[in-house]
């Protein structure tokens, strides 16, 4: 029962973009494109290598003018259908990155883009393969959290 429910709930954000899939995928994976929209104005790329295992480091202005540094590690680049990367802050003591899967589905000449989050568990990380998809449960639990916080 849980499994069936979880699949749908894992979706975090979805947007239908009015452009062909190849172009939208390029917008996510080519430097001259991605720098134009991914982060807010004032952001800066320090290094970027788009290939499995490649790293993209960038900073973007945070509150109070400080630059926040982020690190993306590309895991899978399966043009034009699927992109997988780890997203986290770029610091020595950075906590666990969040694995993100972006899928690109054609839809009547447009492209449906969906982000799903996966979180590595500390224990499973050592095996480096197992990830739990938990966002679904989190979304279900959100309502609960609100309810309990109020009560």
Partner 1 sequence: MSDDLSLTFSALADPTRRAMLERLAQGPATVTELAEPFRLSLPAISKHLKVLERAGLIERGREAQWRPAQLKAEPLKDVSDWLEQYRKNWEESFDRLEEYIRKIQKENT
Binding region for partner 1 (CB under 8 A): 2-3, 6, 12-13, 15, 17-19, 23-24, 27, 33, 36-40, 88-89, 95-96, 98, 113, 115, 117, 119-124, 131-132, 134-135, 137-142, 144-146, 148-149
Least distance (Å) between residue 11 CB and partner 1: 11
Query: What are the two backbone dihedrals, phi and then psi, of residue 113, each rounded to the nearest 5 degrees?
Result: -105, 125
The H or E element containing residue 2 is helix 2-9
Least distance (Å) between residue 42 CB and partner 1: 13
- CB-based contacts of 7: which residues, under 8 Å, 6+ apart? 136
Closer residue to partner 1 (CB): 81 or 145: 145
Closer residue to partner 1 (CB): 81 or 140: 140
CB 58 within 8 A of CB 43: yes
Map tokens 């290094």 to a residue. 47
Least distance (Å) between residue 145 CB and partner 1: 4
CA distance 56 to 89: 11
């Amino acid at each position: 029962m849980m499994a069936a429910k979880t699949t749908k709930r894992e979706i975090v954000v979805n947007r239908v973009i009015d452009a062909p899939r190849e172009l939208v995928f390029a917008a996510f994976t080519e430097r001259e494109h991605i720098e134009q929209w991914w982060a807010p104005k004032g952001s800066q790329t320090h290094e970027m290598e788009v290939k499995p295992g490649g790293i993209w480091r960038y900073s973007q202005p945070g509150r109070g003018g400080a630059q926040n540094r982020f690190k993306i590690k590309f895991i899978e680049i399966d043009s034009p259908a699927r992109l997988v990367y780890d997203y986290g802050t770029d610091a020595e003591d950075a906590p666990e990155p969040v694995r993100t899967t972006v899928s690109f589905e054609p839809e009547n000449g447009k492209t449906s883009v969906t982000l799903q989050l996966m979180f590595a568990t500390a224990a499973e990380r050592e095996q480096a393969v197992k990830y739990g998809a938990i966002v679904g449960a989190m979304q279900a639990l959100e309502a609960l959290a609100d309810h309990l916080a109020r009560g």
